[in-house]
A and B are shown apart, each in its own frame.
Chain A
Amino acid sequence: MILIAGISDETPVSQVIEALEGSGAEYRVFDQRGVAAVHMTLEIGDAAAGGALGGYLELDGETVPLCRITGLYLRTMDDRLLPEIVNAPVGAPQRLHARRLHELLLAWADLMPGRVLNRPTAMASNQSKPYQAQIIREVGFGIAETCITNDPDAARAFIARIWGEGGGVIYKSISGIRSIVQKVTKHDLDRLDRIRWCPTQFQRLVEGQDIRAHVIGRTVIATAIASAGVDYRYAARDTGTPAQLEAVTLEPATVARCVALSQRLELPLAGIDLRRTPDGEMVCFEVNPSPAFSFYQQGASQSIATCIAHYLAGDCD
Chain B
Amino acid sequence: MARKRARTSQKSQSSAVMLPGELVVVTRREAAFRSSAGRFESASGQNVSDLANLLKRHGARMSPIFGATEERVMARMAAVREAAHAPMEDLSVFYRVDAPPERLPELRDRLAASELVDAAFVKPGTELPAINDMTAAPEEPPPASPDFSARQTYLDAAPGGVDARWAWTQSGGRGRDVRIFDVEGNWRFTHEDLTQNQGGVVGGSPLAGVDWTNHGTAVLGEFSGDVNSIGIVGISSDATVSAVSHGGIGSAAAINQAASRCRAGDIILLEMHRPGPRFNFASRTDQRGYIAVEWWPDDFAAIVNATSRGIIVVEAAGNGAENLDDALYQTAAAGFPSGWRNSFRRSNRDSGAIVVGAGAPPPGTHGRDWGPDRSRLDFSNWGALIDAQGWGREVTSCGYGDLQGGTSEDLWYTDTFSGTSSASPIVVGVIACAQGIAKARGSAVLTFTQIRNCLRSTGSPQQDAPGRPASQRIGNRPDLRAFIACALPKRKELVKEIAKEIAKEAVKEIKDTKEVKEIKEKETKELVKEVKEKDVKEFKEGKEVKETIKAEGKELKEKDKDKDLVEGKLIENKVAETLGGLQQLNTGAGGAGVGERLSALEQTVQQLVHFIGQELRPDLSRSALQGSSQAAKDDKDLKDSEKGSES
Give A residues with C-beta under 8 Å from B: 6-7, 9-12, 75-79, 81, 83, 102, 106, 118, 120-127, 171-173, 176-180, 182, 191-192, 194-195, 197-198, 200, 233, 271, 288-292, 294-295, 298
Q: How far is the CA of A271 from the CA of B641 in the complex (A)?
A: 12
Knowing A76-B646, A120-B645, A173-B612, the reply to whether A178 touches B620 (Cβ < 8 A) is yes
* B610, B611, B646: most-surrounded residue (chain A CB, <10 A): B611
B611 nearest CB neighbor, chain A only: A194
30 interchain pairs, CB-CB under 8 A = A7-B625, A10-B624, A12-B637, A76-B646, A79-B646, A81-B622, A83-B625, A124-B645, A125-B644, A171-B611, A173-B617, A178-B618, A179-B612, A180-B617, A180-B618, A182-B616, A194-B609, A198-B610, A198-B611, A200-B610, A200-B612, A233-B638, A289-B642, A289-B643, A290-B643, A290-B644, A291-B642, A292-B637, A292-B638, A292-B642
Kindly list 15 other residue pairs between chains A and B, CB separation below 8 angstroms, not including A122-B645, A179-B616.
A7-B624, A7-B625, A10-B640, A11-B637, A12-B637, A76-B646, A77-B622, A78-B621, A106-B645, A123-B645, A127-B644, A177-B617, A200-B612, A292-B640, A295-B634
Whether B646 lies near A78 (C-beta < 8 A) is yes
Whether B621 lies near A81 (C-beta < 8 A) is yes
Whether B639 lies near A233 (C-beta < 8 A) is yes
Whether A288 lies near B624 (C-beta < 8 A) is no
- Contacts of B589-647 to chain A: CB distance below 8 A: 608-612, 616-618, 620-622, 624-625, 628, 633-634, 636-647
- B642 partner, pick from A10, A120, A179, A288, beta carbons under 8 A: A288
Give B residues with C-beta under 8 Å from A: 608-612, 616-618, 620-622, 624-625, 628, 633-634, 636-647
Contacts of B638 in A (CB 8 A): 233, 292, 295
> How close is A250's CB to chain B, nearest CB, in angstroms?
20
Q: How far is the CA of A93 from the CA of B49 in the complex (A)?
A: 59
In order of increasing CB-CB distance, the 6 nearest A-B pairs are A123-B645, A292-B640, A126-B644, A120-B645, A288-B642, A295-B637
Whether B628 lies near A9 (C-beta < 8 A) is yes
Q: How far is the CA of A106 from the CA of B186 in the complex (A)?
A: 58
Contacts of A11 in B (CB 8 A): 633, 636-637, 640
> How close is A269's CB to chain B, nearest CB, in angstroms?
11
Contacts of A122 in B (CB 8 A): 645
> How close is A118's CB to chain B, nearest CB, in angstroms?
8
Contacts of B637 in A (CB 8 A): 11-12, 292, 294-295, 298
* B610, B616, B639: most-surrounded residue (chain A CB, <10 A): B616
A286 nearest CB neighbor, chain B only: B642
B620 nearest CB neighbor, chain A only: A178
Knowing A77-B625, A81-B621, A233-B638, the reply to whether A289 touches B645 (Cβ < 8 A) is yes
Whether B643 lies near A176 (C-beta < 8 A) is yes
* A12, A106, A127, A295: most-surrounded residue (chain B CB, <10 A): A295
> How close is A175's CB to chain B, nearest CB, in angstroms?
9
Q: How far is the CA of A195 from the CA of B610 in the complex (A)?
A: 7
Contacts of A124 in B (CB 8 A): 644-645, 647
Q: How far is the CA of A103 from the CA of B617 in the complex (A)?
A: 27
* B609, B616, B624: most-surrounded residue (chain A CB, <10 A): B624
Q: How far is the CA of A172 from the CA of B640 in the complex (A)?
A: 17
